[in-house]
Structure 1
């Protein structure tokens, strides 16, 4: 979804008229989305008997790669302080933006990195801590690419899951109280996905995270959770991106821990979709989910 949802609502009429005679174009009309590049950390740590699983941290798409270290230092430092072999991975990088390439390709990049981490460290499994768009990549890897066998724990911060409406993105641009949300529009007129991808190639990646996309369906259709994987989800009531808050992020399937930051830490400083990752309360909660 992301900011490109603005384009979905604003140019929806244009998309409908772009197909000759009103016919819905085939998926082949949409341009392919580049895979993007990766930034891999040096695998310079080793698991211990107490912390046998390396922790792979997947940031969201907010900011650029130049911002990653500052954004994620609190989380990475906290995990390393617990003795965890912690590795921050970034994929699907296009023009300095994380997860801006094809999402299924980014998931394959993650799969390759997981295999490398296991080979170098000798670990049998890895844990994953992911934020926002990084959670979609993690879920694609675990569910579609068979990564569940390698991942006993998934901790997801403000993920974009099944119930997102895209309205939060529009509100940031002053577009509020519209008669239809972007996701409603895409769901009602699924042929807009290839049309808009063709008309505006820069939107193609974001459109993969809408319900009309085959990439989205591969992850979200049917059960999302996988046997043998423990899922923990944190959302924030102040989320202006993954909207509606909670509805967009929570995975309402058996065995999943779904919590609002504000319910757990009512007296703590406010956080939003992005800053939840940096809160000391969040880092402590992540550690609790991994090691309790």
Structure 2
């Protein structure tokens, strides 16, 4: 099944959704401008409430809660370690179901804090999940294979935020992380990597990021002191230049730039991190102002032609700047039977073999090539 739409159908679909959203938001002047703060979210929700039959009006309370784990401590977003290893999974759907019940589970092989890097693999590997995901349901297939290959593997759940903290409706479900402001998530990752370096004695780490995780890694490298602390960055379906969401994000940004705050309208629904990842956002203007890469890094960037989020592929690819190397890889090149989409590529044997080769070119085996179905993943096995 091809994840992309015919251009005409895609355009009509986008225009229809935009019209619905615009009508729902009312006149441009009546749409409140939302900022990614707890107080703004509370004001937005309160503005739409009506009095009950007894005269009382429900009120949203701007309560930020308390930070936990390796949080940056900033209001509205937290992070925590993934703890208690869950079972290895071959399918994203099965991993997602397990993650709903065990939202903070660690993927197998990860966060063994007594692991010491070997001379063959001197850099620990830090895994970064994407939006509305968690460490377990993203890496329950890849993590054990990295550990079996001799890597020390570490991961966390970042960008944990509630509905009233601009996390969006997705944050209501257990384990839907990566929804808070991305700058805060980047700082949480920076703090976690310092803990990994201290525990392992390693000067540098390697990073594998999926979706937003690749973008968070880039922000950490450019703005949170990561340059010189990372040897290799491997990304899958990363939102390096934003996502068009089959053209909807691009259309939404155009409407926003025309003076209708449609992005502000659906921020409470999809969360601040997803708004920041729309093509043309100020976040990306800042992120890529000095180029896509930083010196001293080897980048491996993997995209799938069936990715319904990162489409077209070029949005996820990088251009090498001075002192950096970039290998942009299309998953289907040489393996047409792999039809992994945005989520199931992390359950693709070929994607796993690409990650292993990128992290250890000398010790890795040949690239795998098997059928990996769209939506299900794992060769159809649940």
TM-score by length of 1: 0.80
The residue that corresponds to 1:204 in the other structure is 272
Q: CA deviation at 1:220?
A: 2.6
CA RMSD of superposed structures (Å): 2.9
Partners in 2 of 1:250 and 1:8 — Cα distance?
A: 28
Partners of 1:135 and 1:160 within 8 A in 2: yes
The structure with the larger Rg is 2
Q: Deviations over 1:214-252 (max 9, x none)?
A: 3332213330200011111110111111112x1221113
- Aligned pairs for 1:1-292 within 5 A: 10-12=20-22, 17-19=27-29, 30-32=35-37, 34-40=76-82, 41-61=111-131, 64-65=133-134, 68-69=135-136, 71-94=138-161, 95=171, 96-162=175-241, 164-167=243-246, 181-187=248-254, 189-190=256-257, 196-197=263-264, 200-202=267-269, 203-244=271-312, 246-254=313-321, 255-266=325-336, 268-292=337-361
- Structure 1 SS opposite 2:145: helix
Q: Deviations over 1:174-204 (max 9, x none)?
A: xxxxxxx431441463486976437743433
* Compared CA separation, residues 212 and 7, structure 1 to 2 (3 A): farther
Partners in 2 of 1:164 and 1:108 — Cα distance?
A: 22
* Compared CA separation, residues 250 and 212, structure 1 to 2 (3 A): closer
**Bigger proportion of residues as helix:** 1
Which of the pair has the greater relative contact order for Cα pairs under 8 Å at 6+ separation?
1
Q: CA deviation at 1:38?
A: 2.5
Q: Which runs of 5+ in 2 are unaligned?
A: 1-13, 39-75, 83-110, 162-170, 362-382
Q: CA deviation at 1:16?
A: 8.2
Partners in 1 of 2:358 and 2:260 — Cα distance?
A: 37
Q: CA deviation at 1:92?
A: 0.6
Partners of 1:235 and 1:249 within 8 A in 2: yes
Q: CA deviation at 1:15?
A: 5.5
Q: CA deviation at 1:165?
A: 2.1
The residue that corresponds to 1:178 in the other structure is none
Q: Paired residues, what number?
A: 266
